[in-house]
Structure 1
Amino acid sequence: MRIPVLYEDNHLLAVVKPPGVPSQEDETGDPDMLTLLKTDLKERHGKPGNVFLGLVHRLDRPVGGAMIFAKTSKAASRLSEAVRSRSFGKTYMCVVQGAPASSNGTLKHYLWKDQKRNQVTVFNKPESDAKEAILEYRVAAAHERFSLVAVRLHTGRSHQIRAQMAHIGCPIVGDLKYGAARQPHISNLALWSTSVSLPHPISKEEVAFYSLPEVAAPWSWWEADQLEYAAKLYI
């Protein structure tokens, strides 16, 4: 499997993660992003021995889009600090059932993850062991029973967008885990990582990488200019 490369230098690797591929090795043993990219780097650059590649952030297995990896340990350390300090920007687009009560807003909840079930419970107020989760959203377009929504994350909790959108009555299309209705011919989650922005680990200059979803349902329900508009709402 070849992974599309958005950008590469001696320190960073920005790629498009295909939906359905794990970010790192899991119990399924299926091909994962780290292993695939290490193999690709080794082959493309003729590197002997092991290839270093640092996982900076994760995307849920059914989610596709822009993803960043570190090619050196120094870059990995600095990018991890950017994530902790929230100078690592992430935007997404999703197709949801229905429409939020407001066309734009900020969602603040508290999330607790059941590790055994791999599912998140959402609380409106602080609860023991629940972590604060904040995101901004804007409805980019709507038709029939669905809305195209742009999202900017302020925190990076597991299943955050999926759980918070479902909590306000707008589960993401294809997300059966969080209450979405089954849709014919849709097997992947309608959630896409549209951009990742960060200070370059060496030059410190702000860099950003963008990706639009593949043209397949439910993304094909929208015109190309609508998808581009949604992707640029938080740029």
Structure 2
Amino acid sequence: MSLEVLFEDFHFIALNKPAGLPTQAPVGIDSLEARVKAYIKEKYQKPAGVYLGIPHRLDKPVSGVVVFARNSKAAAKIAAQFEHRTVRKTYWALVEGTPHPISGIWQDFLRKIPDVARAELVSAEFSGAKEAVTEYRVLRTTPDFSWMELLPQTGRMHQLRIQAASRGFPILGDTQYGSAKPFDAGNSWRIALHARSLVFDHPFRKVPVRLEAEIDSQWPISQEWIKELSPVSHQTD
């Protein structure tokens, strides 16, 4: 039941979600939401129920930054930022192959497949099609994988996973979208996709909030590599 809390105040709490744990689940099933509610109830001695607003989610096999609102007003203000695409999201991924060019923008149309937890690429005219836009750059390439930074401008279901896979570079471990290489041999439910950071405005203080989640030991990325990353505007504005 351990939690890695990245930030906490009376308005919201941010955590580094481990891969394999759903953000939200029905009562009785372990989830990040259930763990956070138990944590708040114990820490603040709340005898009644604990309110948690969920302005965004991460897929179960994905790790990284997740934010929960601790009151309804904060929930509405943070959710509005996600809806209006003013939240700056940075993901790291390990993919098969070597993407070319090494930086650019992916633009596609996706739709959720009815009654299935899966999405697909479609034409713009297809019923239910929604535009998906992601800026990307390749950070490093090795014989086993390419390490990528992905900056989604939209928030479609499985957006990053489909966009990478459809170009011949599936995320390691993502067998749902064609990966042939495991990411964590001991845990088949993990994929090499991590929500590295979020930047948004505090719902009441009107100052930027920058949240960053560390990768775990299963990621074959050294701290030296991370230190070598050049600053980029979306992380330092």
TM-score by length of 2: 0.92
Which of 199, 202, 215 pairs up with 2:201? 199
Contact 1:55 1:70 in 2 (8 A): yes
Q: Which moved more, 1:45-54 or 1:185-194?
A: 185-194
Deviations 1:77-108 (A, max 9, x none): 01111111111121100000001121001001
CA spacing shift, 1:20–1:41, aligned 2, 3 Å: same
CA spacing shift, 1:231–1:111, aligned 2, 3 Å: farther
CA spacing shift, 1:229–1:154, aligned 2, 3 Å: farther
**Equivalent residues in 2 for 1:71-110 (5 A)?**
71-110=70-109
Q: Aligned with 1:6: secondary structure?
A: strand
Amino acid at match of 1:92: Y
- Unpaired runs of at least 5, structure 2: none
TM-score by length of 1: 0.93
Contact 1:99 1:147 in 2 (8 A): yes
Amino acid at match of 2:223: A
Match of 2:217 in 1: 215
RMSD (Å) for aligned C-alpha atoms:
1.8
- Unpaired runs of at least 5, structure 1: none
Match of 2:176 in 1: 177
Contact 1:133 1:157 in 2 (8 A): yes
Provide the C-alpha distance between the structure 2 equivalents of 1:50 and 1:70, rounded to a whole number of angstroms. 14
Provide the C-alpha distance between the structure 1 equivalents of 2:103 and 2:4, rounded to a whole number of angstroms. 32
| Percent of pairs with identical residues | 35
Contact 2:198 2:211 in 1 (8 A): yes
Q: Aligned with 1:177: secondary structure?
A: helix
1:116 deviates by 2.2
Match of 2:10 in 1: 10
Provide the C-alpha distance between the structure 2 equivalents of 1:185 and 1:106, rounded to a whole number of angstroms. 34
Amino acid at match of 1:148: W
Name segments (4+ residues, structure 1) moved above 6 Å: none
Match of 2:142 in 1: 143
Deviations 1:111-155 (A, max 9, x none): 111142211111354422111100111000001041000011100
Contact 1:135 1:154 in 2 (8 A): yes
